[in-house]
């Protein structure tokens, strides 16, 4: 296995364990997905989901950067994420349906929400929300990496 893929695979395992997530027990399957992530990072500068095709400019596809914003809902409803890197339990034998809305309907998911009517001015610090796992933090800036799901700072949105 390529050294970069090996490294990415180890980081995936470590981050999943730290965040309380489970990787697919099919190690060959997971190794292929790690390779797909490395390939997509080279192609697009973003670790786009290996089972999805980028649509438009890379920045319009932040919702499908792994871990995608649909992962937790898919884990809760179907027991696996779309590409089946993450599972609730066991090796899935059926792919989950695509939760990502078509392009026109996607704005609601990909556009950062504006804090609505929240008493932001009264807060000592702004509140940032991780779009991947929902983690909230009140600080001047979002963390560099989400302490729960390891998503990077650019996946955070202003919440309050």
Partner 1 sequence: MAQFIEIDGRDIGEIRIYALSTCGWCKKTKNFFNENKIKYAYIDVDRLDPNETEPVRKEQLKHNPAGSFPTIVVDGAAIIGYDEEKLAELVRR
The C-alpha atoms of residue 49 and residue 27 are separated, in whole angstroms, by 18
Strands ordered across the beta sheet of 127-130? 136-138, 127-130, 156-158
- Which is closer to partner 1, CB of 47 or CB of 137? 47
CA angle 27, 32, 34 (to 5 degrees): 90
Please state the φ and ψ torsions of residue 2, each to the nearest 5 degrees: -55, 145
Beta bridge partners of residue 152, listed in sequence order: 145
* Contact set for partner 1, span 43-82 (CB under 8 A): 43, 50-53
Please report, to the nearest 10 degrees, the dihedral formed by the alpha carbons of residues 91, 94, 98, 99 taken in order.
Answer: -60
* Nearest distance, CB of residue 32 and partner 1, angstroms: 5
Residue 145 forms beta bridges with which residues? 152
Question: Among 5, 21, 36, 149, which residue sits at the site for partner 1 (rule: CB under 8 A)?
Answer: 36
| Number of Cβ atoms within 10 Å of the Cβ of 122 | 7
| Residues 103 to 132 in contact with partner 1, rule: CB under 8 A | none
Q: How far is the CB of 53 from partner 1 (least distance, A)?
A: 6
| Residue number, 2 or 114, with CB nearest to partner 1 | 2
Least distance CB 133 / partner 1 (angstroms): 22
Least distance from partner 1 to the Cβ atom of residue 100, Å: 8
Q: Which of 97, 121, 140, 144 is in the footprint of partner 1 by CB under 8 A?
A: 97
Question: For binding to partner 1 (CB under 8 A), which residues are involved?
Answer: 29, 32-33, 35-37, 39-40, 43, 50-53, 83-85, 93-98, 102
């Amino acid at each position: 296995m390529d050294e970069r893929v090996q490294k990415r695979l180890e980081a995936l395992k470590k981050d999943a364990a730290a965040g309380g997530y489970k990787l697919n027990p099919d190690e060959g399957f997971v190794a292929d997905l790690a390779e797909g992530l490395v390939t997509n990072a080279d192609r697009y500068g973003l670790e786009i989901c290996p089972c999805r095709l980028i649509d438009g400019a890379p920045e319009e596809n932040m919702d499908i950067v792994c871990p995608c914003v649909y992962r937790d809902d898919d884990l809760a409803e179907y027991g696996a994420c779309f590409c089946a890197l993450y599972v609730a339990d066991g090796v899935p034998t059926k792919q989950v349906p695509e939760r990502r809305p078509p392009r026109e309907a996607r704005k609601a998911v990909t556009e950062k929400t504006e804090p609505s009517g929240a008493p932001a001015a009264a807060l000592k610090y702004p509140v940032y929300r991780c779009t991947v796992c929902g983690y909230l933090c009140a600080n001047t800036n979002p963390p560099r990496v989400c302490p729960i799901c390891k998503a990077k700072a650019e996946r955070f949105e202003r919440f309050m």
